[in-house]
Structure 1
Amino acid sequence: MISLTINGKAHELDIDPDTPLLWALRDELNMTGTKLGCGMALCGACTVHMNGSPIRACSLPISAAAGAKIETIEGINSPAFQAVQQAWRELDVVQCGYCQSGQIMSATALLQTNKKPTDAEIDEAMSGNLCRCATYHRVRGAIHQAAEKLGGKV
């Protein structure tokens, strides 16, 4: 049995310890907001937070997440997340939407640690998140807008 805390709730899973966290979330716990993109931790579609930091759930064995606090797109609700979500809507960031949960999780993690990121800092923080529709300029604009809305309240 592997013990996980996901979105503030304790879970006990009888699962192979090498199973990627993504499959535990999607197949065992029916949390389908986190997406499979490449399966090799290169595209960022599977981004979740582990102990507050963004990680790729597709390549992290569930055994490595045991005892950690995992937060998914379904459970996050910080002021930074709310500001990001609002900015995403206002600036129509989403096109096809497939990568967006990972994009939003990475943007939220950035704003939780950096209240006023520069373009270069945004580009660095978001560099592991690929968008097939190329909405990168809208993503950057939404992160700046979210930072302004937060006004230092992260």
Structure 2
Amino acid sequence: MITLNVNGRRQQADVDPDTPLLWVLRDTLQLTGTKYGCGQGLCGACTVHVDGVPMRSCSLPVSAAVGKKITTIETVDAGRIGKAVQAAWEKLDVVQCGYCQSGQVMSAVALLARNRKPSDADIDAAMSGNLCRCATYVRIRAAIHEAAKSLA
């Protein structure tokens, strides 16, 4: 039995320690906001925060998250930064198909948590691991700037 701290709650999962965190979140804990994309940690759709750091949950063994604070898209809007990012996403109509957006939002929140005035280069570097099939990168960048402005 593995015990995790997910979204501020103690959760238990009877899974193999090598099981990717993504599958524990989605299949065992029924937190389906985190998406499966590539399964290799390359697309960013599965991004969650582990102790505040954006991590690819599809390639992170659940055992590596034990004793750490895991935050998923389900509760990211509970914080000031998450609310600002989601409001900017809506204001600038970032989403098209939406599949990658939970990972995009999680990466944007992590960026703004450590840098409240990111440059375009900062944004591009922080978001480089998040792919968007709809190519809304210009709107994503604009929304991050909008969220930063609202947090100032």
Q: Residue 125 of structure 2 aligns to which amino acid in structure 1?
A: E
Q: Residue 53 of structure 2 aligns to which amino acid in structure 1?
A: S
What's the TM-score once normalised by structure 1's chain length? Answer: 0.97
Residue of structure 1 equivalent to 2:106: 105
**Alignment partners' CA distance in 2, 1:24 and 1:94:** 27
The answer for unaligned runs of 5 or more in structure 2 is none
Residue of structure 2 equivalent to 1:72: 72
Q: Secondary structure at the match of 1:75?
A: helix
Q: Secondary structure at the match of 1:102?
A: helix
Residue of structure 2 equivalent to 1:55: 55
Residue of structure 2 equivalent to 1:31: 31
Runs of 4+ in 1 over 2 A off after TM superposition: none
Number of equivalenced pairs: 151
RMSD (CA atoms): 0.5
Residue of structure 2 equivalent to 1:94: 95
Q: Secondary structure at the match of 1:48?
A: strand
**Alignment partners' CA distance in 2, 1:12 and 1:35:** 21
**Alignment partners' CA distance in 2, 1:127 and 1:78:** 24
**Alignment partners' CA distance in 1, 2:143 and 2:11:** 34
What's the TM-score once normalised by structure 2's chain length? Answer: 0.98
Q: Secondary structure at the match of 1:125?
A: helix
**Alignment partners' CA distance in 2, 1:78 and 1:113:** 14
Identity %: 66
**Alignment partners' CA distance in 2, 1:3 and 1:29:** 12
